[in-house]
Structure 1
Amino acid sequence: MDNCKDVLNQDNKRKTMLYYWYMEDVNYLGIEYAILHGIVSGHKRLMDSIFINSSFINSYTVNYDDSELVVRTENTVYHCPLAYCNFDQQDLVKNQIPDYEKIKREYKGRAEKELPTADEGDVLLVISNHNQYYFNSLYYKPNGTYEKVKYFSGPHIGMLQDSFLVRSGEGNIDLRYFPHSQNIDFYTQDTDNKPFYIENIGDITLYCRTFSGLIKLNPGERKEVTKENVEKVSVDLPDGDLYPAVFIPDEE
């Protein structure tokens, strides 16, 4: 498997995006430079969903029409959605970005407020190619309650292969999967017999190998995990570890 490239039906004209991004000053041979950190997608050499450090920044501008910061390095142009700035980190070097305080007032918290929700009693797993391990969020509000359940999520670093866990104390939700290139493979799928939906908020097609079968999710698509929604044609999917290395730099 090519670990530095998505392998299924990719569009070479995709923008290189950076999510949960922030800029930082570094000192190299006595000279101050700015670099960029974040989770990448659409890079011509790097796989979606990995955390990177860019090479030195040449220039950057705020594009208010598209609500993004456009950053240029030696070989790459990064499009950084303003709503996905890591403001807590960026506060440490807030003078780097023009109109930073204005941007922070307008965009901080917007990405969280716009997360998908589900009907009462339904369990919704939200995934994307701009989140590490493809996990974005979980939404579940039990019948007759006012608040959605709180949950724990995080990677389990295995000796042979990593997996990702999503669990809630209330509602007995327990989801565990192996993340691969452009697909996830569930080995635990317990939603306490509640309807289970998965939504893809990324910009590429993702596949989920569920207990019902293979579910294909195009960008922006939500499907219930049922046999009726399983792919009828077999798809050859990679099954190697999504993150074979602990750290992968931006190879520019």
Structure 2
Amino acid sequence: MENQYKLNTLRHWYLADYEWKGEKVLLVWGQFYNRPGFYEGMNGHTSIVQSIKINQEEKEYEIQTKNNLYHCSFDSCFFERQDDSPYKLPEYETIKAEYYKPVNTEGVSTNDMILVVADYNDYYFESLIYQNPDGSKGKYSGYPHIGMFTDTFLINGDREPYEYDEESEYIDIRYYVDEGSFEFYSLDTGERNLWIENRGDSTLYIYGCGSEIKLEPGKRVLALKKKYSSV
């Protein structure tokens, strides 16, 4: 079957600086496709970026490193990560305004939270979306724990357990990571309904919240119901 991607295509990519030999250099991070020596969808980064050009006809950035020209389409830019980068791509704001598609939070109330996952993220985690009881945006910290036999990912709310009026309000989500799947072993959502949305390109299998969940790309599922939801 013919590969649908151009030679050296990057998807879910972003440009970021990196310290190398005491200097800041630019690398492109993302998923490699049709790249000799790499398996399809492999996460990684390029060598040092030498130049960046816009190809409006192909709707992509053409990013040159020492040995390769990478094709980085506008619509597959990882905009959330690119926003955090100190380096701004040419015409970035204009391109973002046209191609960025944020997570749809219409109807999401203080009773709900959305765990956003994707295969292009390490440990699948992209973000956690929820509101505090007063309607303000909820904050969180997410980080991996590298184990001897298996890796896990931990997500906590922005407050310690003793800072909550009720212990049940505490957010503590933890899961084991496997190839193409993950399994919760702690699922304290602060008494909120847990929705999981797959923003990636491949199906993920989810365990630990009842029956097996087969979550296809672009889909959202109610994984844990605690309260009424209008989503």
TM-score (norm: length of structure 1): 0.62
Structure 1 residue 62: Cα displacement:
1.4
Task: Describe the superposition over 1:28-70 as per-residue Cα deviations: whole angstroms up to 9, x where unpaired.
Answer: xxxxxx8633132546524747342x24668753144676423
Query: Which residue of 144, 147, 154 maps to 2:143?
Result: 154
Structure 1 residue 20: Cα displacement:
2.9
Structure 1 residue 203: Cα displacement:
1.9
For residues 76 and 63 of structure 1, the distance between their equivalents in structure 2, rounded to whole angstroms, comes to 13
Give 1:31's aligned residue.
Answer: none
The percentage of aligned residue pairs carrying the same residue is 28
Residues 67 and 82 of structure 1 are in contact (CA less than 8 Å); yes or no, is this contact kept in structure 2? no
Residues 17 and 43 of structure 1 are in contact (CA less than 8 Å); yes or no, is this contact kept in structure 2? no
Structure 1 residue 165: Cα displacement:
0.6
Task: Describe the superposition over 1:66-123 as per-residue Cα deviations: whole angstroms up to 9, x where unpaired.
Answer: 76423356467342527356366453xx6xx6xx3x4257649x96x82343611112
Whose relative contact order is higher, 1 or 2, with alpha carbons under 8 Å and at least 6 apart? Answer: 1
Q: Secondary structure at the match of 1:133?
A: helix
Give 2:62's aligned residue.
Answer: 70
Residues 155 and 163 of structure 1 are in contact (CA less than 8 Å); yes or no, is this contact kept in structure 2? yes
Q: Which runs of 4+ in 1 moved over 6 A?
A: 23-27
Q: Secondary structure at the match of 2:218?
A: coil
- The structure that is strand-richer by fraction is 2
The code of the aligned residue for 2:14 comes to: Y
Residues 205 and 214 of structure 2 are in contact (CA less than 8 Å); yes or no, is this contact kept in structure 1? yes
Residues 28 and 49 of structure 2 are in contact (CA less than 8 Å); yes or no, is this contact kept in structure 1? no
Greater shift in the superposed pair: 215-224 or 81-90: 81-90
The code of the aligned residue for 1:163 comes to: T
Residues 173 and 191 of structure 1 are in contact (CA less than 8 Å); yes or no, is this contact kept in structure 2? yes
Q: How many residues align?
A: 200
Structure 1 residue 164: Cα displacement:
0.7
For residues 153 and 119 of structure 1, the distance between their equivalents in structure 2, rounded to whole angstroms, comes to 21
Task: Describe the superposition over 1:108-153 as per-residue Cα deviations: whole angstroms up to 9, x where unpaired.
Answer: 9x96x8234361111210001222211111111255x221221111
TM-score (norm: length of structure 2): 0.67
For residues 198 and 87 of structure 1, the distance between their equivalents in structure 2, rounded to whole angstroms, comes to 23
For residues 200 and 150 of structure 1, the distance between their equivalents in structure 2, rounded to whole angstroms, comes to 20
The code of the aligned residue for 2:186 comes to: T
The code of the aligned residue for 2:180 comes to: Q
Unpaired runs of 5+ residues, structure 1, are: 1-10, 28-33, 228-252
For residues 148 and 90 of structure 1, the distance between their equivalents in structure 2, rounded to whole angstroms, comes to 24
Residues 127 and 198 of structure 1 are in contact (CA less than 8 Å); yes or no, is this contact kept in structure 2? yes
Give 1:13's aligned residue.
Answer: 4
Give 2:122's aligned residue.
Answer: 132
Give 1:36's aligned residue.
Answer: 27
Structure 1 residue 224: Cα displacement:
0.7
